[in-house]
Amino acid sequence: MTEDGYPDALPRGYHLHWYLLERVLGQGGFGITYLARDTNLDQRVAIKEYLPIDVATRRNDATVRARTEAHDERYRWGLERFIREARTLARFDHPNVVRVLSVFEFNNTAYMVMRFEEGSNLATILEQRGTLPEGELLRILLPILDGLELVHNAGFIHRDIKPDNIHVRADGSPVLLDFGSARQPVGHSPSLTILVAPGYAPFEQYYSSGESQGPWSDIYGLGATCYRAICGTPPMDAIARSKGVLGSARDVLAPATAVGAGRYSPRLLKAIDHALEFTERDRPQSIAEWRRELLGEGQQAALAPAAPSAAAARSERPAPASGGGWPVFRTVLAAAVALVVVAVLLRFYPFSGGGKSGPPPETAPDPAAQLKERLAKVEQQLAEERQRQAEALAQQQAEERQRVEAERKRAFEAEAARKREAEQKKLAEERQRKLAQQAEAERKRQAEQKKHAEERQRKLAQQAEAERKRAEQQARQQAVQSAKPAAAPPSSAALLEKADRDYTAGNYAEALAALKPLAARGNANAQLRLGKSYAEGHGVAHDDARAAIWYRKAALQGNPEAQLQLGELYASGRGVPHSDFEAYVWLTAAVRGGNAAAKALQGRVAKLLQPVEAEQAGKLVTNLPLPDAAK
Amino acid sequence: MASAMPGSCVVYRCAQLCAMMLVALASGCVSEQQKISATRDVNAVFRTEYERVLAEDGTHIYHVPRDEAFQALRVALGGLGMRLAEQSPDLGYLSVYASAPDPLTRDEWLRAAQADLPKFRGILEQHLGLAAWFVSFEPQGLDVVINATTIQVRGGTAVSLTMRMREVAPPKSGYPRREYAPPTAVRMGLRKIWGALERELPAASGRRS
């Protein structure tokens, strides 16, 4: 529905009772498997939803329905099977078979809740490593055999054995997954969906009938998985093989004995080839049989770990001839046959004591006694032989157990050492990371402190500067205030007024004495009057150049009278170089400042300029300040 | 406006004397009023051209303070041979002058004259007839006066230039002086001044206004 790549899947975050769906793990012909969280127990689980895509489909309300009415019966039948099989599989509590925790109906379909196994998929491991060494392969294979045997004994076959369905946990133990395809092989509907994993499915699985399928079918899958693990590629597909086989041509599958020669033991390679026999009757018929081939008769009892529940499950069905006692069994059988033969002979032979024939000759030794004696000897020899073989077997088994135990111990220790080393490395890295983090934090803290210190310093400096300015201001104010009552100097206007009076009265020295300081301090009116003093030669020597200097100072402050006077000087060339342009500038400024007397002269000078020069001069005037009155 | 072609060879001198004689003859047939009218028309045409050139290229704006532009302008004009007549840094005004053809070289002046002479003579011909063909541009007795202003504007300084011809000696031709320089000479002169200024302001990017 919303999951990318799985249009039929339920969306992420969907609630199935107390299971919260997290993502899709995969989809097959029979349904979709999700990774979910059991919110009650707060643990991850895998949930398989029954959704046979060839007969059913998902509706918008998340329910699953048969595609058509014609499909409904088949869908219902499959649903019932799914639930029943889930319940059956839930009975298996084997460390190497995925644990079914629950099954329930919802959304018009059913859901099988399984334990979620962390670790790596065997297919992924093989993809990464290409092949596996014999020891490692057997460490994965043998526990799987044990789990699968439990399933077979319960009357099920997996039907989809392949590397993708074998999971290897972090501790190296394998677990068989995905029993979604598991079926009871005998006596059920012929409408089973054909399940084939090319290369891993035997030829009989290409038939729709399940009658010819059995443990040998799973053994083919296991053999193919082993074949993939020793030569790097799966065996060719059974259909392709059938062309060679049915055409009376040579089977084109390269045998494991050829592919793995020199790298794997002949026993293992032969067992793989046997499992991969094209015709089902030519293969091992049970897991036990194949295990014996894999391990040799003496080893399998020691190597195959017997899980209690598996043994219990096996006990529900008659167990196949089990393992390592085959030579003893044969010996005992031979002895029993011999005894029967002897008994028959005793029963029917004339020398039998119970016979109908005449009495034996008196001088002849008693044949019955001789026979009994021989029989006793035979029995004794047989007993001795049995004892010897049992002892040898026990010793062999003990040695094998020790070897396996030692090997397991070594592997365990190596694994523990590896884990310890990894843990130490991780701890060291963690320590290093923490140190780096601490160093970084310290660096940041120091930088922050430095920044704060600088900020503080800056603020202090600002405060000090503000304080200094305030103090200066206060000092100035105090100075002004303290000076005021003492000196109480007349204002500039008053001084100017007095200077004007003195000037008019011809008291030029006093007038200039008042004007000069005022002009020097930038008083435009005082500058104008001082300029006039120089221009008119009153109180000072006539000096147009000096007059122009004071006029310019006042004119630049926007004094229109000074601007007019300066303009006249430029127009006439007195005290300054003759410049109609600059004359026009000052006269225009004077006119702009409201000096009407400047107007006539400005007009005359304008005629001497180019229009563009007048325009250029006008722009200069706009940059001059306006007189206070004109503002 | 007498012809004043430079040359040192005898043939050239002879030709020049002949031309002067022809001009004198032609001038003798032209009234003073005709000369004034001709000059006024030429001035009017040249003034229009001059104002158009100034509108196009008479003002540049530089992203520098006014003082910096003023100093650079003074240096640039000085480098082109112009002498300072008046300066007012507080006002932003600068006036320079030099004997024509400065700030153009003689070759540049000749090129400018050749470009504008046909139009010049065409105008004169309406008033002077054939005598117009003996009139030429002459730089002698003339100053080139340049007024430059620097005004603070938003984002920089606007530098404006104007240019005029100022008579410092009477012309040999006896014709009234023109105030406006030939338009091509104005255009070339402005280009030289802006180039020199921008070399003095390497960091400032200029644009026309």
Mind spelling out the 3-state secondary structure of chain B? CCCCCCCCCHHHHHHHHHHHHHHHHHHHCCCHHHHHHHHHHHHHHHHHHHHHHHHHHCEEEECCCHHHHHHHHHHHHHHCCCEEEEEECCCCEEEEEEECCCCCCHHHHHHHHHHHHHHHHHHHHHHHHHHHHHCCCCCCCEEEEEEEEEEEECCEEEEEEEEEEEECCCCCCCCCCCCCCCHHHHHHHHHHHHHHHHHHCCCCCEEEC
Answer whether A598's CB lies under 8 Å from A565's CB: no
Which pLDDT belongs to residue A132?
A: 94
Amino acid making up residue B30: V
pTM score of the predicted model? 0.41
Residues of chain A contacting residue B147, judged by C-beta atoms under 8 Å apart: 581, 613, 616
Residues A342 and A352: their CA atoms lie apart, in Å, by 11
Indicate yes or no: CB of B149 within 8 angstroms of CB of A556. no
Q: Measured between CA atoms, how close is A445 to chain B, in angstroms?
A: 43
B172 and B2 Cβ atoms separated by less than 8 Å:
yes
Cβ of A613 under 8 Å from any chain B Cβ? yes
Residue holding tokens 């000072």? A540
Cα–Cα distance between A300 and A143 in angstroms, integer? Answer: 12
Residue A258, pLDDT above cutoff 60: yes
What is the CATH T-level fold of the domain A492-630, as seen in this structure? 1.25.40
A188 Cβ contact partners less than 8 Å away, ≥ 6 residues apart: A210
Q: What is B10-208's CATH number, 3.50.50.60, 3.30.530.50, 3.40.50.970, 3.40.50.150?
A: 3.30.530.50
Give yes or no for A581 touching B (CB within 8 A): yes
The answer, yes or no, to whether residue A386 has pLDDT greater than 50, is yes
Cα B185 from Cα A170, distance rounded (Å): 94
pLDDT at A628: 67
Dihedral of CA atoms A612, B71, B95, A544 in degrees, nearest 10, equals 120
Residue B35, pLDDT score: 76
> Which residue(s) pair with B161 in the sheet?
B148
DSSP string, A448-461: HHHHHHHHHHHHHH
> Average pLDDT of A122-127?
92
Residue B135 tokens, joined: 């009139």
What letter would DSSP give residue A251?
-
- Spell out the long-range contacts of A87-92 with Cβ–Cβ below 8 A and sequence spacing 24 or more: A88/A154, A88/A156, A89/A151, A89/A156, A89/A179, A89/A182, A91/A154, A91/A313, A92/A147, A92/A150, A92/A151, A92/A154, A92/A309, A92/A313
User: How do residues A525-538 score in pLDDT, each as one tens digit?
Assistant: 889 999 999 998 88
Instruction: Check residues A202 and A205 and name the one with the higher pLDDT.
Output: A202
Q: How many CA atoms lie within 13 A of A485 on its CB side?
A: 4
| Contact state of A577 with B51 under an 8 Å Cβ cutoff | no
Measured CA to CA, the distance from residue B68 to residue B78 in angstroms comes to 15
> Considering only CB atoms, which chain A residues are within 8 Å of B87?
none
What ipTM was estimated for this complex? Answer: 0.78
Token couple for A506: 């011809």
Q: Predicted confidence band at A345 (pLDDT cuts at 50, 70, 90)? A: very low
Instruction: Compute the average pLDDT of residues A366-373.
Output: 62
Rounded to a whole number of angstroms, the distance from the CA of B154 to the nearest CA of chain A is: 12
Residue contact B85–A577, C-beta within 8 A: yes
Domain A15-115 has CATH 3.30.200.20: yes
- pLDDT for A128-149, tens place per residue? 999 999 999 999 999 999 999 9
Domain boundaries, chain A: 15-115, 120-321, 367-452, 492-630
Residues of B with Cβ-Cβ distance to A611 under 8 angstroms? 51
Residue A531, min C-alpha distance to chain B (Å): 18
**A67 neighbors A55 (Cβ within 8 angstroms):** yes
**How does the average pLDDT of chain A come out, rounded?**
79
CATH number of the domain located at residue range(s) A120-321 in this protein: 1.10.510.10
Q: Does A102 touch chain B (CB under 8 A)?
A: no
Domains A120-321 and A492-630 equal at CATH topology level: no
Cα–Cα distance, B80 to B83 (Å, whole number): 9
- Higher pLDDT pick, A364 / A297: A297
- Tokens 């799987």 — which residue? A144
Q: Which pLDDT score, from 0 to 100, does residue A614 have?
A: 92
* Distance between A514 CA and the closest CA of chain B, angstroms: 27
